[in-house]
Amino acid sequence: MKSAGLSSQKATYLHDLAAKAADGTVQLKMIGRRKDEEVIEELIQVKGIGVWTAQMFLIFSLGRPDVFPPDDLGIKVALRTSMAWPSCRPKAEAHALAAPWTPHSTFATWYLWRSLDLAKAKS
């Protein structure tokens, strides 16, 4: 794994994922049929996978349309710059702000990320 460019830590995470998939703790074969919350709960059992990583998996691997990652740094910066959102707001307030975007929160997330690219291009 090191020859493929993975750090020892990431190799440990992959071994843990493989072990948990092998013993049935994480059932990847059916994961795409589960609800978002169930996918997150299942994946965070793996060492090295947290809620943010599971949310990125939902967005980019499973193509889920209603995922809002309030802990994502890009989302925090985009909210702060494009919506004058103070950076110290609690996560619950970010969820409340994003509530009207349901069931299309992922698309709002993409637009927020894109707003950062557009801001960079203007400067």
Active site residues: 72
Whole-Å CA distances, 90 to 2, 67, 85, 93, 96: 39, 18, 11, 5, 10
Buried b (16+ CB within 10 A) or exposed e, 28-57: eeebeeeebeebbebbbebeebeeebbbeb
Tokens of 99: 């509530």
